[in-house]
Structure 1
């Protein structure tokens, strides 16, 4: 299960990386229609939450320490915050639907939250790799005292 935890964490990190690509696709699509952010929305609202749940499941099944399981849960909360920030940013438009400084500031927080989420997933992946790495041989764990032959 520890290898599965590493694989799930890796796939989750790849999904987060792709999320940035899909955001750029939406930002640079001309003309920007309602579907410009479709890949970004589907990945953020469906793919990443499912992968996060799988990562949590494998962390529990791998008997990861509670702190690591908690860290694996954190991206789910950050995804919920992402959705709230996106909705709030869209809510702050003027009478003709144009962006306002407040809406753009909130959109900036959406981007920062995404960066934080990536860093959390990197931490989960590093910890999962450490957990899955084979333990050193018993002989290597024996310390030699000064003055004793090795």
Structure 2
């Protein structure tokens, strides 16, 4: 689990998470960037993205939307279409929980499916902390504009 206050309304945060807007903020030049985002935002609909690493590799990921309660909750499956070093191609589940606050949105991310994969769980926990930082910075730029 990871959680952060985002200075944007739940609808804006949700759009940043599940539309091609992810290409504007998710990543950094020294880690990876999301490109080619495509999604059919409905229960049973699928999503896909290409993770472009700093060293130029193109790593596809995809999944399906399992639950949608806009703008409060989105649950989706997630699978790498390549051999992730700690997770392989195991499918996991990501839940985005959005709660309105006085300043914007409390976003909590619950990422499950790591039973028996402690290294993968720890790596993804670190990754979500980084992603929330990128999203906070992005939302701050939107407010300032």
Structure with higher helix content? 1
Q: Which has the higher strand share?
A: 2
TM-score (norm 1): 0.31
Q: Computing the radius of gyration over CA atoms, which structure comes out larger, 1 or 2?
A: 1
